[in-house]
Structure 1
Amino acid sequence: MEGTMKGAYLPGNSTVVLKDVPIPKPGHGQVLVKMKACTICGSDIRAIYREHIGKGPEGYQNVIAGHEPCGQVVEEGPGIRRFKKGARVIVYHISGCGVCHDCRMGYMISCSSPLRAAYGWQRDGGMAEYILCDEKDLVELPDSLSYADGAQVACGFGTVYEAITKVGVSGNDAVLVVGLGPVGLAALMLCRAMGANKLYGIEGNPVRIELAKKLGLADKVLTPADSNVDEIKALTNGKGVERAFDASASDPGRVTAIRATRQWGKIALVGEGGTVHFNPSPDILHDQKTIYGSWVTSIWLMENLVEELVRWNMHPDLLVTHRFPLDKASEAYKLMADGNCGKVAICADEELK
């Protein structure tokens, strides 16, 4: 495919720059994907959009932005084995070396090679008309899921699913989610599907509180306060929840998640950045609690998640509150940075409805 396309770049001063660039040509083992939907992640805002603070895996290399891409294969390079022209695909957003220990487990997010390159960070991402992808980085998108569903799986829902599989969630569990941005809302959706018997949230943004209520995701949403731990314990017969997830990335939010969890409970820290200060003996050791760190997911678990979404008839795009065409990417990023929204997506014309 010849010609040029538009791509969105993030200079790091809370602006977006659209550039005309050549449409890439797929090489061996690569495909060209027509972008249908690419959602904006909070990590983009934190580490790239406002200023370039990311280092290492989060070091932005002035490439086309967007690490939550989903689209359709329109051109094949030589050597393609599975994802042929016409395939609907989600892009696992880290392209690993493929031969280190973590890549061989499917956790390209933790690839230890200098060849590791994340879409939208070190190689061109999905905020463009087309994206060049290695076939090994693709996950099939079933016909029953929308492209916006798939974009959500590419990062946010995949990240939450990984955390849930680490701590385990079932009908035995009351669950607390601190921070109801897109990742926290995704946690509520997935925990509900996996049978959690009570779901509680903590959030201060009225727009996001309203979204959680509108979608029926939580039994109760509290606003952030020093009394949150006591409130959660009052809701759980004085015991606390069996499972807690922090998606707030705030010090007090993380402490609340830890202290509102009951004896032998499990806590997953998912939100990026920030700090946490707690007292190990009373907060963790004496109550035999376990804290898990969780970073994105593996490509095989992402494939499992897609299968589960079809089985549950669950559509992550319910969390997409705003859709923009590529030429309005500046408005989209500003809205996401302001936070008065659910998930924000850049979409092809046919996906804007």
Structure 2
Amino acid sequence: MRGVYLPGGRVVDLRTVDVPEPGYGQVLLRVGASTICGSDLRAIYREHLGTGPEAYQGVVAGHEPCGQVTAVGEGCRRTAVGDRAVVYHISGCGRCDDCRAGYRISCTGAGRRAYGWQRDGGHAEYLLADEDDLVPLPDTLSYLDGACVACGFGTAYEALRRAGVSGADRVLVTGLGPVGLAVGMLARALGAAEVVGVDPVASRRELAGELAAVTDARPTPTGEYEVSVECSGVGAAQAGALAHTRRWGRCVFVGEGGTLGPVDVSAALIHRSITVYGSWVTSIVRMSELLDNLARWDLHPARVVTDTYGLAEAELAYRVADEGRRGKVALVPER
């Protein structure tokens, strides 16, 4: 089979490798879709950060996979050949408090391995996964829908649920990349009274409008909002999200990277009674909840995908994603 590797320096290496066989408690999936995440671009494609959770170990890339089970190893108890599933992209130790709560992303055990970072990911024709990492894909959702949920929409949903978004809230979204689009679409599905998106790139604002992901898209923020969700990872936008959160409001930081400049804690936070959240991906339990809700709402995350490529076009796919002017970019092995 073919697999995509990212040696760094914006190089994409397509190699031929053996199709793996499932061991105890493992399944083999034929990959239906595998999307490209901003974290892949920031920490692997451009350069290897090399330590901690973002240490790339020279494996098949892609941590947003979705596919169909083609083989099941011994010891699997709830999965059968033909099942469709999203892969939660972290294999945790299974013993720490975070794993036991479903937040494998925050696993502190020595056994933590992320698909596409420390173990082979979804940018290939087949993927070997632990059965415990699978989340069933509802029949009404496509593989592209599922791949978008595997990280991006899951991250967006977690942020909104932590902020308790409801019809009583006006929501500000800073950064209208794929995660920002997801935040807007889900905030509207949760009943937010207004969703304003901010991005300096005109094409992204236009896409947000076309998708009805926001009620208004602007180059800079104005006004105050009960909830602000920062998705860009840019210091100026982070400061803007905080500044435009109204008194007693909630501000959620989602975008990786960036440095928040000096903050007068008394004036910016204490005296305004602001609640600030740092939100990192989501739990496997909440991801399952999101998939069920998407099916119930008839909301399809694949709407944010603007560009789809086959594995042979992976270099072009990463180049387009790296330009940061489009929506989500996906690899579909059978394309």
TM-score between both structures, scaled by the size of structure 2: 0.98
Aligned to 2:62: 66
Name the structure 2 match of 1:246. 230
| Aligned pairs, number | 334
Deviation at 1:86? 0.3
Residue number in structure 1 paired with 2:13: 17
- Whole-Å Cα distance in 2 between the matches of residues 287 and 219 of structure 1? 26
Q: For 2:109, what is the secondary structure of its paired residue?
A: coil
Residues 219-258 of structure 1: pairs in structure 2 closer than 5 A: 219-224=215-220, 228=221, 232-233=222-223, 240-258=224-242
Q: Which residue of 2 aligns with 1:294?
A: 279
C-alpha displacement of 1:143:
1.0
2:169 counterpart of 1:185: no
Say whether the 8 Å CA contact 2:33–2:330 is kept in structure 1.
Answer: yes
Task: Give CA-to-partner distance per residue, 1:285-334, whole Å, 9 cap, x none.
Answer: 10100110000111000000001001110000000000000111000001
Specify the SS of the correspondent of 1:199: strand
Q: Partner residue of 1:316? A: 301
Kindly provide the CA deviation profile for residues 60-85 of structure 1, in whole angstroms up to 9, marking residues without a partner as x. Answer: 00100000000000011111111210
Q: Confirm or deny that 1:199 pairs with 2:199.
A: no
Offset from partner CA, 1:84-122 (integer Å, 9 cap, x none): 100000000000011111111111101111110000000
1:257-268 residue pairs with structure 2 within 5 A? 257-268=241-252
CA shift for structure 1 position 24: 0.6
Q: Which moved more, 1:212-221 or 1:70-79?
A: 212-221
Residue 114 of structure 2 corresponds to residue 130 of structure 1: no
**Which residue of structure 2 lines up, in the alignment, with residue 284 of structure 1?**
269
Cross-structure match for 1:237: none
* Separation in structure 1 between the aligned mates of residue 218 and residue 51 of structure 2, nearest angstrom: 35
**Structure-1 separation of matches of 2:88 and 2:215:** 33
Amino acid at match of 1:142: P
Equivalent residue for 1:117? Answer: 113
Tell me which amino acid in the other structure corresponds to 1:271: G
Q: Which 4+ residue blocks in structure 1 deviate beyond 6 angstroms?
A: none
Distance 2:84 2:215 in 1: 36
The one-letter code sitting in structure 2 at the alignment partner of 1:138 is L
Structure 1 stretches lacking a partner, 5+ long: 234-239
Residue 337 (str. 1) matches residue 322 (str. 2): yes
Aligned sequence identity (%): 53
**C-alpha RMSD of the superposition:** 0.8
Query: What SS does the corresponding residue of 1:17 show, helix, strand or coil?
Result: strand
| 3-state SS, counterpart of residue 11 of structure 1 | strand
